[in-house]
Amino acid sequence: MSEEMDQVEVKNFEVGDFVKGVVSKVEEKQVVVELAESKLDGIIPISELSSLHIEKASDVVALGDELELQVIKVEEEALVLSKRKVDAEKAWDQLVEKFENQVTFEPEIKDVVKGGLVVDLGVRGFVPASLVESHFVEDFSDYKGKTLTFKIIELDKEKNRIILSHKAVQEEEKLHQKQQLLSSLQAGQVLEGTVQRITDFGAFVDIGGMDGLVHISQLSHQHVEKTSDVVEEGQKVQVKVLSVDQENERISLSIKETLPGPWANIAEKTPKGSILDGTVKRIVSYGAFVEVLPGVEGLVHISQISHKHIGTPNEVLSEGDHIKVKVLDVNETEQRLSLSIKELEEKVVEESQYELPEETKGFSFGDVIGEQLKNLKK
């Protein structure tokens, strides 16, 4: 036996040398390996098996595994070896390349620790809690065992420091989506969006990776006092693209433009000859504009205000007056509505043109007229 051993080429290894060994025994806190070029066994302490903390050696290696190892100590009866150092050296070259080229990759999250997450990259990588997601996360316990996309944002080999970020990947994706969206948007497009934020001057709507502004004047065909009277956060809405400013990354949107206008089917809502309630909104020299439906104003021409001659509409009407009007004509294409007050007062006015003497009380209007005609013939 001794003769056979003498025939084996034996090397005297020193600290720092690299060797190959086969796992011959797995104990709880160390691993024994056979080395082809040495009479000595190799011992790998559990702390030198992985860059991460492990409870049992069997979590990392098994009997028969062939390992690349580095000598970290030479003893009389054994060589103390490290798997961790070899793995780390290989990993650093790859990690430097990933860092310099900003490459993303998907390691498994091995542990959740105070302040963040730990991943095994051949060396220990750390993800601070603030860099895990773009939104706040209160409890990271469910993240262990998951796979996420990361990029390296800090790398220091001397300090053995690697900082990763999933949040940076998310932000890059959002930026890419925003750029694609800006380049594809055109005025006139109608899209579905989600109301993200409400302000005094309008609402910001997410249309797929970017927010656009719906000014308060573009929320409805009717006058809007408060944005919250029309929309609420989280609401799905249809919006029309009014303009796109790619340089300043601004998108102007309209909800109003996607809704039927107040003049749509106006001939059915206000047919010719119909009598409507209205409110005097504006008085001009040639008549008065009366709102008969929200957003729909018709003109009562001065000649249609009264049977009596009037110099200005103000002699009869005031802004804010609630009146009844008759529809004379409807033009949906030109959004014109002709109205009359006079048409509803015609009979009353005609009778009031004649002043009846005191002695005629009790007689019909027709009797009085007939008597006057007889006198004229004489």
If you write DSSP's letter for every residue of 104-135 in order, what string do you get? -B-PBEEEEETTEEEEESSSEEEEEGGGT-SS
Whole-number Å distance between alpha carbons of 267 and 337: 9
How would CATH label the architecture of 186-258? Answer: Beta Barrel (2.40)
Whole-number Å distance between alpha carbons of 202 and 228: 9
Same fold, 102-170 and 186-258: yes
Give the model's pLDDT for residue 374.
52
Whole-number Å distance between alpha carbons of 165 and 129: 9
Q: Is 332 within 8 Å of 293 (Cβ atoms)?
A: no
Whole-number Å distance between alpha carbons of 70 and 82: 5
Sequence-distant (6+) residues with CB within 8 A of 164 are 119, 125, 126, 127, 131, 150, 151, 152, 153
CATH class of 20-84: mainly beta
Q: Could you tell me whether strands 78-82 and 41-45 are parallel, antiparallel, or unpaired per DSSP bridges?
A: parallel
pLDDT tens profile 339-368 = 999 999 854 444 444 444 544 444 444 454
Give the model's pLDDT for residue 345.
83
Give the model's pLDDT for residue 9.
56
Whole-number Å distance between alpha carbons of 254 and 212: 9
Give the model's pLDDT for residue 365.
46
The CATH code that applies to domain 102-170 is 2.40.50.140
**pLDDT < 70 positions in the chain:** 1-10, 346-378
On whether the 266-350 domain is CATH 2.40.10.10, my answer is no
Q: Could you tell me whether strands 151-156 and 66-74 are parallel, antiparallel, or unpaired per DSSP bridges?
A: unpaired
Give the model's pLDDT for residue 10.
62
Give the model's pLDDT for residue 346.
58
Domains of the chain, by residue range, sit at: 20-84, 102-170, 186-258, 266-350
